[in-house]
């Protein structure tokens, strides 16, 4: 499979922006090339200088943790930037199409709409697994991307691995596996399969288990040709220096992150158990993520009653296959207890 032939014609021919620092080789100490403030920044740090466009120090640290080489790693301003760039690099507006598998993460659709790219929806089966026949039928010669979210948001389940492998082996475009919640899952990541599949893109993010949603840092791991295309299309300085510095520091604290993952998974199981005992709860869907999809009586009324008590859940009750469901992020033990008490008090009033 030649990935270069998948990209849009204008991207194939694109001469990317060349930054001032790309254009020399060797040692230098006087930088008068980028119209920066040579006196410094009010913060006393190096913030007067443009950041490394390829974020090599940060990628090196990520590579040591993930075991994926730097040249197979792309960093985006959140995974949301990687999603948008995949559309811009590979999908011809008004001509190409992509396949998404509802119910799933909303940005795949929004980003397609922004880029004027046709969406073909193949709903998950009632088991929340892939409809492989439906996917095969939806594919045509203009289908460029298939987004598979695993564990899936908002349903919480992981997608059966062999089903993902079937799509990867048979589809001639890119298969994007969004692993935003992989740290909470029993399922293994796909980042170790990059050499096997030239069309595999694995997205992960620092916004969930790593606790850095405010920084806006997402990763896309893929074979070299895909990464080279994303780097060509991205804004030159898409990851700012403060994010690079802070993320590098955070990567040194993996023990804390692993502790939080363990506690969150324990809390998820405990909270799921308590929710199952509530009268208003019809179904607690099993979760491999840090949230739980729960079917309740009168979802909207329950949602509103909780808002009145200052507790915000995600109302998914109008979403395909999630009718009557609320999505609950697993909080701290105390937050989960507050939620359960509030739900009990609502039950007692009705």
Ligand X SMILES: Cc1ncc(COP(=O)(O)O)c(C=O)c1O
Would you tell me which residues interact with ligand X (CB under 6 A)?
A: 78-80, 105, 149, 153, 178, 180, 205, 207, 213, 218
Distance CA 22, CA 17 (A): 10
Q: Which is nearer to ligand X, 167 or 217 (CB)?
A: 217
Q: Which is nearer to ligand X, 178 or 288 (CB)?
A: 178
Closest residue by Cα to residue 291 from 195, 233, 208: 208
Cis peptide before 154 (omega within 30 of 0): yes
CB-facing half-sphere around the CA of 245: CA atoms within 13 A: 7
- How far apart are CB 102 and ligand X at their closest, in Å? 13
- How far apart are CB 291 and ligand X at their closest, in Å? 9
Q: Are 327 and 154 in contact (CB under 8 A)?
A: yes
- How far apart are CB 38 and ligand X at their closest, in Å? 34
Closest residue by Cα to residue 342 from 309, 301, 296, 303: 309
Q: Which is nearer to ligand X, 176 or 275 (CB)?
A: 176
Dihedral angle, C-alpha 237, 243, 249, 254, nearest 10 °: -110
Q: Which is nearer to ligand X, 179 or 343 (CB)?
A: 179
Q: DSSP label at 206? A: S
Q: Which is nearer to ligand X, 92 or 163 (CB)?
A: 163
- How far apart are CB 141 and ligand X at their closest, in Å? 28
- How far apart are CB 327 and ligand X at their closest, in Å? 10
- How far apart are CB 151 and ligand X at their closest, in Å? 8
Q: Are strands 325-329 and 314-315 parallel, antiparallel or unpaired?
A: antiparallel
**By beta-carbon distance, which residue lies closest to ligand X?**
78
Q: Which is nearer to ligand X, 83 or 280 (CB)?
A: 83
Q: Which is nearer to ligand X, 180 or 284 (CB)?
A: 180
Q: Where are the alpha helices (DSSP H) in the chain?
A: 9-12, 56-66, 79-90, 107-114, 132-138, 161-170, 224-233, 241-251, 254-276, 299-308, 333-349
Q: Which residues pair with 295 in a beta bridge?
A: 283, 325
Distance CA 145, CA 164 (A): 14
Q: Are 107 and 134 in contact (CB under 8 A)?
A: no
- How far apart are CB 104 and ligand X at their closest, in Å? 8
């Amino acid at each position: 499979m030649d990935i270069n032939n998948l990209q849009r014609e204008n991207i194939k021919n694109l001469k990317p922006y060349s930054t001032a620092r790309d254009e020399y080789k060797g040692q230098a100490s006087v930088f008068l090339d980028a119209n920066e403030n040579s006196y410094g920044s009010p913060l006393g740090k190096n913030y007067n200088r443009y950041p490394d466009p390829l974020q090599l120090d940060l990628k090196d640290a990520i590579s040591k943790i993930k075991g994926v080489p730097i040249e197979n790693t792309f960093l985006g301003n959140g995974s949301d930037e990687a999603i948008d760039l995949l559309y811009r690099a590979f999908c011809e507006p008004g001509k190409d199409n992509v396949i998404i598998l509802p119910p799933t993460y909303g940005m795949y659709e929004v980003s397609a709409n922004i880029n004027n790219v046709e969406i073909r929806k193949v709903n998950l089966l009632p088991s929340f697994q892939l409809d492989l026949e439906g996917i095969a039928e939806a594919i045509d010669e203009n289908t460029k991307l298939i987004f598979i979210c695993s564990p899936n948001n908002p349903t919480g389940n992981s997608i059966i691995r062999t089903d993902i492998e079937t799509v990867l082996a048979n589809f001639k475009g890119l298969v994007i596996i969004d692993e935003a919640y992989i740290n909470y899952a029993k399922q293994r990541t796909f980042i170790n399969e990059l050499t096997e599949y030239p069309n595999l893109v694995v997205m992960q993010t620092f916004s969930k288990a790593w606790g850095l949603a405010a920084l806006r840092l997402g990763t896309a791991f893929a074979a070299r040709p895909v990464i080279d295309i994303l780097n060509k299309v991205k804004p030159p300085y898409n990851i700012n220096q403060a994010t690079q510095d802070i993320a590098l520091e955070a990567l040194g604290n993996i023990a804390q992150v692993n502790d939080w993952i363990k506690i969150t998974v324990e809390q998820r199981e405990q909270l799921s158990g308590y929710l199952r005992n509530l009268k208003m709860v019809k179904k607690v869907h099993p979760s491999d993520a840090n949230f739980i999809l729960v079917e309740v009586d009168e979802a909207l009324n329950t949602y509103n009653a909780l808002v009145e008590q200052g507790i915000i859940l995600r109302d998914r009750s109008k979403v395909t296959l999630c009718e009557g469901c609320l999505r609950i992020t697993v909080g701290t033990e105390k937050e989960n207890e507050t939620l359960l008490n509030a739900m009990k008090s609502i039950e007692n009033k009705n």
